[in-house]
Structure 1
Amino acid sequence: MTGAEQIAAFAAHTYQDGVPSDVSDAAHLHLLDAIGVGIAASSFAENAGWAGAASAGSATLLSGGTAEPGAAAMINGALIHSLEFDDTHIASVVHGSAVAASVALAATELVEGSGRDLILAYVIAWEVAIRLGLAAPGAFQTKGFQVTSVGGAIGAAAAAAQVLGLDQQQTVSAIGIAGGQASGTLAFLADGATSKALNPGWAARTGIEAARLAQAGMTGPASVLESTFGVMNVFADGTKGTEPLLATLGREWMTPDAAFKLYPCCHYIHPFLEAVEKIMAQGVSANDINSVMALVPPPAAPLICEPWARRQAPVSGYDGKWGLAYCMALMLVDGRVDVGSFEAAPREDVIAVAKKMTWKPMEDHRFPARFSARIEVETTNGAFSAEVPQVRGAPDRPLDAMDIRAKFVANAGRRFDAKRIHALEQEILSMASAADLGGIAGLLQG
């Protein structure tokens, strides 16, 4: 079988047989987190224009109101990803929920499906995208592509195809069509453009539109993953790792391994923020800092260290989310890094601290299997150091479910009152038993 045929078979079996209870439990928590982040993102003024720029339809928008399904999937995916607060499968570097939640919600509403339909589609999209990222670790990024948007489009097509009732051959075609439309570069890094948020949104839209086109008779290449001009050769470094990973679909479940984010910035920066917190716990403040040296895994450096002058003094609040020095300085100055930290223009008091920082390559790293950090700090009171071998929220350093629920409450609280937040939380956490999506749609649209 080709890769697309393997994925189609997995999707069909999963949609029919369901998923293990621990996978379902994890999916509900990740869905809660994603929707909360999307709601918070919709409260930001800079998102208001494009978050409402959609043609009329009946699919729910996290920003309130409705749009046609493809547009809703795109906008919701962009909202969830726009704060850099959405979850990540660390080893594959896939931000799966931005794609999976968006395509699952739009496709399920399109057919007036159930909560079970949504959860299964969500898991299918996640599982497929993870495999493609793991098949070529770091290769997508080296070529300038975001694996979330490329692999996400394939997963989204497989998920949407099941919800829409496509047969095996139609699902293969949907995957082929989606592979032909996959995209999403890292060019935003050049000037801090906010368009990175669109990458998973476009993947979600690609998935649902590919499924609808296949349902209407369009065909897509069955060898879209492994052919000479296929996804893995064009976007990554070949197909060597693809087949064995796709063979694990349905046997090994990887969605529960995705990591939740504690800070709304690039996930590579998170362990450094924890390292700063460790230094601060020893009584060090921003005023004490003479210098900070960050030891960075080399594959992470292009995103969070280059060019260093802009990672110290970003051109916008959004650009600051990829500034290792700026984010560490924010933690030192404010004692926190939260969604409000990047709402305004970069601050001179933070930049002044960031300019005392530099970086060098970390030699003994296991990136991307681990997001690790080490810092060496010189202060007016002596030298300090801190190391974080693995980011919090990863499978081997999991967060408690109550932490995730508290994050949801804080994010949803930017738009909703406590009564609606509680009702929405209960609706999402019991999604698999919902006969339809009327409950969640009413709470989000109102």
Structure 2
Amino acid sequence: MKAIDAVVNFVEQQSFETLPQSAIDAALMFIMDSIGVGLSGTRVANRQRILEMARQWGEPSGPCAQVWGSGEWLPVSNAAMVNAYQIHNQEWDCVHERAVVHPMASVLSSMMAYAQGHELSGRQLILGVVVGVEVATLIGACASTGLKFFRPSVCGGIGSAAGICAMLGLKGDTLKNALGIAYSSASGTMQAHVEGSPMLALQVALNARSATQSVDFARSGFSGPHDILEGEFGYFNLFEDQVDPQVLIDNIGRDFQITQLSHKPFPTGRAGHGTVDGLQQLQQEYGFEVSEISAIHVAATPLINRLVGRPIKPDMDVAYAKLCNGYIAATSLLTGNVSVTDFDPEPMRDAERQQLGAKLTTSLNDCQDPNALAPVTVRVTLNNGQSHSVELPAILGHPQRPLSAQAQIEKFYAACLSATPAPDKSQVQVLLDELGALPELEDVNSLVKTMTY
């Protein structure tokens, strides 16, 4: 069996009734998490620019959906784009570590917009999310070499098209065409990541938009290529250097990948989470003061070094700071946490953070996996010569070290209340109640109503 045949067979066979309860529970958890993060994303300045562009690109004339938070009605594809950008623009959304894919940014935004525009149910939405995450992450997990293209956008777009097809019950050539058109629209490279460009999140958003449009094209009878994974110019041959398609073939629909997502406790690149996790543990155990620190050293995987090993500098862009190990470490040490407001202009210019962040160095450990985000070793050396270190085989938020249910709710409240404009706590509670009832909702529009204020 070819990998693309395994994907098609999987999508065609799924229904809400066939999903294991573990996958449904994980979907509800990460839908909640992603909606909270998406509402928080309204506070990012570039979001308004993207919303203005979406308005210019067409007034609602057919199926339409709403922008989370502010509530504007847009064509489904444009709403998906704006909401995807809101989810990913602060690096606070969940991630599948093996695949290095942030699936929910594109999957949930496109799924929710399509479901709202076509009056689909909560169960259809959950089904689509589970299927979309499964396809996006397992395509990414086949790679055994490092990222060149940005998997969250490329794999996320293909997975999103698969999820929408599952919601609608599309099969056969219509399904294959939708996947092929989504693949043909795939875009996004790691250059934006290297430069710390805000284009990183927009790449995810553009692929979410393309996913909705791909399904529309396929439903109209338009054809796309079918051999999009193993084909001569398929994903595995063009987008990755080394792949093992058997990873997808052996795992799809067995251990549902939505149960393997990692929460992000902090609004930074996941590659910086081990630094924060380790420093918090060391401070709690040894009680040293920031003024006592002589040096901080993080020994980490090749991917962590590549993504967040960049030097701290006084003129950082927000996207750069979120991917700067030194700034992340200094923020955690000085404030005890890392929050969305730590990436406002004033904190990023703070001289004390700059000086402390410059004390951090990041180097390679013995890990040879180019896609691994663990293990990590964090060492703090004090002025008196004492040294304290901690080894982290799994980082806080990983399925092996999951956030507690209470921590998940606290993150959701913190995310929602950081939105611009912010809802009040009673509105957040109404939204939380509605999310708890998602499997019983006849129309997703009732959920989106509680997300606009």
Q: Which residue of 2 aligns with 1:353?
A: 356
CA change 1:314–1:172 in 2 (3 A) is: farther
**1:439 counterpart = 2:430:** no
The unaligned stretches of length 5 or more in structure 1 are: none
1:108 correspondence with 2:115: yes
1:93 maps to which residue?
Answer: 100
Separation in structure 1 between the aligned mates of residue 67 and residue 234 of structure 2, nearest angstrom: 33
Contact kept? 1:107, 1:163, Cα under 8 Å: no
Judged with a 3 Å threshold, the aligned counterparts in structure 2 of structure 1 residues 33 and 167 are, in CA distance, closer, same or farther, namely same
For 2:358, the aligned partner's letter is: K
The 5 Å alignment of 1:399-414 reads 399-414=403-418
Is the Cα–Cα contact under 8 Å of residues 152 and 204 in structure 2 kept in the other structure? yes
Which is further off, 204-213 or 161-170? 161-170
How far does residue 82 in structure 1 lie from its aligned partner after superposition?
0.4
Structure 1: distance between partners of 2:252 and 2:194: 37
**Aligned-partner Cα distance in 1 for 2:442–2:88:** 28
Q: Which residue of 2 aligns with 1:343?
A: 344
Following the alignment from structure 2 to structure 1, what is the Cα–Cα distance between the partners of residues 246 and 15?
Answer: 22
Q: What's the TM-score once normalised by structure 2's chain length?
A: 0.92
Q: Structure 2 vs 1, CA of residues 279 and 367 (structure 1 numbering), >3 Å: closer, same or farther? A: farther
Q: Which moved more, 1:27-36 or 1:59-68?
A: 59-68
- Match of 1:389? 393
Out of 67, 71, 87, the residue aligned to residue 61 of structure 1 is: 67
3-state SS of the aligned residue for 2:268? coil
- Structure 2 residue aligned with 1:241: 244
1:374 counterpart SS class: strand
- Equivalent in 116, 121, 136 of residue 129 of structure 1: 136
Letter matched to residue 253 of structure 2: G
Q: Which range is displaced more, 11-20 or 390-399?
A: 11-20
**How far apart, CA to CA, are the structure 2 residues paired with 1:418 and 1:63?**
14
Displacement after TM superposition at 1:194 (Å): 0.8
Corresponding residue number in structure 2 for 1:374: 377
- TM-score norm. by structure 1 comes to 0.93
Among candidates 254, 261, 273, match of residue 257 of structure 2: 254
1:323 lines up with 2:324 in the alignment: yes
Q: Which amino acid in 1 is paired with 2:392?
A: V
CA distance in 1, matches of 2:391, 2:382: 17
Which residue pairs with 2:34 in the alignment?
Answer: 34
Structure 1 residues 50-59 or 348-357, which shifts more?
50-59
- Mapped pair 1:287 → 2:291: yes
CA distance in 1, matches of 2:395, 2:344: 24
Name the SS for the 2:139 alignment partner.
Answer: helix
Alignment root-mean-square deviation, CA: 1.9
Q: Deviations over 1:345-374 (max 9, x none)?
A: 522221111112222211147664552321
Question: Which amino acid is 2:120 matched to?
Answer: G
Query: For 1:382-428, what per-residue CA distance to the aligned partner results, in whole angstroms no more than 9, with x for missing partners?
Result: 22222222111111111112211111111112211111111111111
The separation in 2 between residues aligned to 1:425 and 1:220, in whole angstroms, is: 40
Quote the offset at 1:313 in angstroms: 4.7
Paired residues of 1:161 and 1:208 also in contact (CA < 8 A):
no
SS at match of 1:233: helix
Q: Which runs of 5+ in 2 are unaligned?
A: none
1:160 aligns with 2:164: yes
Runs of 4+ in 1 over 6 A off after TM superposition: none
Once structures 1 and 2 are overlaid, which stretch shifts more, 171-180 or 188-197?
188-197
SS in 2 for 1:59: strand
Structure-1 separation of matches of 2:111 and 2:263: 19
1:423 to 2:430 alignment = yes
What is the percentage of aligned positions where both structures have the same residue? Answer: 27
Q: CA deviation at 1:35?
A: 0.3
Asked if 1 retains the 8 angstrom alpha-carbon contact of 2:274 and 2:376, the reply is yes
SS at match of 2:40: helix
One-letter code of the match for 2:281?
K
Instruction: Give how far 1:376 is off.
Output: 2.3
Deviation at 1:174, TM superposition (A): 0.7
Aligned to 2:48: 48
- 1:247 deviates by 4.2
CA spacing shift, 1:150–1:294, aligned 2, 3 Å: same
Distance 1:416 1:361 in 2: 43
Name the SS for the 1:318 alignment partner: helix
| Segment of structure 1 superposing worse, 277-286 or 205-214 | 277-286
| Distance in 2, Cα, partners of 1:344 & 1:51 | 22
Verify the 8 A CA contact 1:60 1:444 in the aligned structure 2: no
Distance 1:393 1:301 in 2: 20
Output the CA distance in 1 between the equivalents of 2:246 and 2:67: 36
**1:228 aligned to 2:229?**
no
Match of 2:150 among 146, 149, 167: 146
CA distance in 2, matches of 1:424, 1:375: 38
In the alignment, what sits opposite 1:22? Answer: 22
Q: Which runs of structure 2 are paired with 1:176-195 in the superposition (5 Å)?
A: 176-195=180-199
Tell which deviates more after alignment, 86-95 or 425-434.
425-434
* Partner amino acid, structure 2, of 1:8: V
The alpha carbon displacement at 1:199 in A equals 2.2
- Residues 375 and 165 of structure 1: is their aligned pair in 2 closer, same or farther, counting only changes over 3 Å? closer
